[in-house]
Amino acid sequence: MLRSRNHKQPWWALLLLLATPSLLAAGLTLSAEQQAWLRQHPQIVWAAESDYQPFIYLDAQQQPRGLSHDLLMLLQQRLNLPLQRAPAAPLDQLLSEVRAGRIDLLTSLRPTAERSEYLAFTAPYVQVPTVLMLRRDQRSTLTLNQLQGQKVAVGQGYAVEAFVRQHFPEVDWQALPGDREGIQALLNRQVEAVVLDLGSASYLLQQFNAKALQIGTRIGFDYPLSLAYRKDWPELGSILDTGLRSLSLQEREALLTPWLQPLASPPNAPGGQLLKAAALLMLLIATTLLGWHAWRQRRLAS
């Protein structure tokens, strides 16, 4: 049931509801084959990326948090998934664990050709653009083409790393364990910029010296984030997609609200409002993709 019009909602949530009026929860009915598969697999090992805010990270008590964690916990309850959590780690280490067969499921991943050799992916549940993080004493309009020959940080093993190395080979790329290390290197003037997604940039700005940093230009690479599972378990993928399609608009809003709130009032930097709007439009695209995927599945089943 839709909320009353008098219920106060963040403007981006209203935009989401207005932009997708026909998207309704698909309902949740696992097939006999899917239920049998879950009974035959009493343990599905997953792990959290240790520092990918606001999507998946460890809090001060070393417990996983984030938008993707909330989504996975909701799916676990709804689908009765037998999840077992492995230790959190940086993404590059987690991917090695998947290749070695020690982890079955990851969150917050963008499909790439390399990862598709050993992983399969659900429909995306969120999508955000990638941007440059700069120091406040730099021009906010700096682009990667203007940073040729200079050091720029990028997350090691992140999907964007292969993209920037291929499209901007003249940049002196510094692969660091994560975005936090990149921003620290930027503040220490060890690099001239950091490549990271807008959601992470907005969160990390609040944890570092926001007066010394600013969000710069987009680089032409977006992150459609999916759940990733071992490629030899296609049944798990069909189960996860069934769970994603069952999410109502209200449930999607409830998942997004806590983690998008920092984007509602980003630091006053040139281009900040434009980038915020771009990120929210990407979220709408991901929601629309989920709805289209549900419609397509129903059409194929009819």
Is residue 134 within 8 Å of residue 210, measured between CB atoms?
no
- pLDDT exceeds cutoff 60 at 210: yes
Structural domain including 266 reads: 27-126+225-301
Q: What tens digit of pLDDT does each residue of 94-134 get? A: 999 999 999 999 999 999 999 999 999 999 888 888 999 99
Q: Could you tell me the CATH number of the domain that includes residue 288?
A: 3.40.190.10
Instruction: Identify whether residues 64 and 205 lie together within a single domain.
Output: no
- Which of the four pLDDT bands, split at 50, 70 and 90, describes residue 28? confident
Whether 166 maps to a domain, the answer reads: yes
The pLDDT score that the predictor gives to residue 19 is 34
- pLDDT exceeds cutoff 60 at 80: yes
- Cα(154)–Cα(168) distance, integer angstroms: 12
Instruction: Identify whether residues 105 and 144 lie together within a single domain.
Output: no
Last residue of a domain, one of 221, 250, 284: 221
Residue partners of 230: CB distance under 8 A and separation at least 6: 98, 101, 104, 105, 118, 119, 120, 236
Instruction: Give percent of the chain above pLDDT 90.
Output: 61
The pLDDT score that the predictor gives to residue 6 is 39
Give the alpha-carbon dihedral of 270, 276, 279, 281, to 10 degrees.
Answer: -120
Whether 8 maps to a domain, the answer reads: no
46 is written with which tokens?
Answer: 């997953």
Chain length of the chain: 302
Q: Give a three-class secondary structure readout of 86-99.
A: EEEECHHHHHHHHH
Greatest mean pLDDT among 10-19, 65-74, 205-214:
65-74
The pLDDT score that the predictor gives to residue 196 is 95
- Cα(202)–Cα(2) distance, integer angstroms: 30
The pLDDT score that the predictor gives to residue 271 is 44
Which has the higher per-residue pLDDT, 301 or 168? 168
Instruction: Identify whether residues 175 and 211 lie together within a single domain.
Output: yes
The pLDDT score that the predictor gives to residue 169 is 97
Domain count, the chain: 2
Instruction: Identify whether residues 102 and 251 lie together within a single domain.
Output: yes
- pLDDT exceeds cutoff 80 at 287: no
Amino acid present at 299: R
The pLDDT score that the predictor gives to residue 145 is 96
Of 21-30, 70-79, 189-198, 247-256, least confident by mean pLDDT is: 21-30
Tokens 């109502």 sit at which residue? 248
- Cα(70)–Cα(66) distance, integer angstroms: 6
Whether 13 maps to a domain, the answer reads: no
98 is written with which tokens?
Answer: 């998947």
Whether 115 maps to a domain, the answer reads: yes
Last residue of a domain, one of 221, 239, 271: 221
- The neighbouring-strand residues paired with 154 are 175
- Which of the four pLDDT bands, split at 50, 70 and 90, describes residue 168? very high
70 is written with which tokens?
Answer: 């909330």
Last residue of a domain, one of 187, 221, 255: 221
Instruction: Identify whether residues 39 and 85 lie together within a single domain.
Output: yes
Q: Output the pTM of the full model.
A: 0.73
Q: What's the chain's average pLDDT?
A: 82
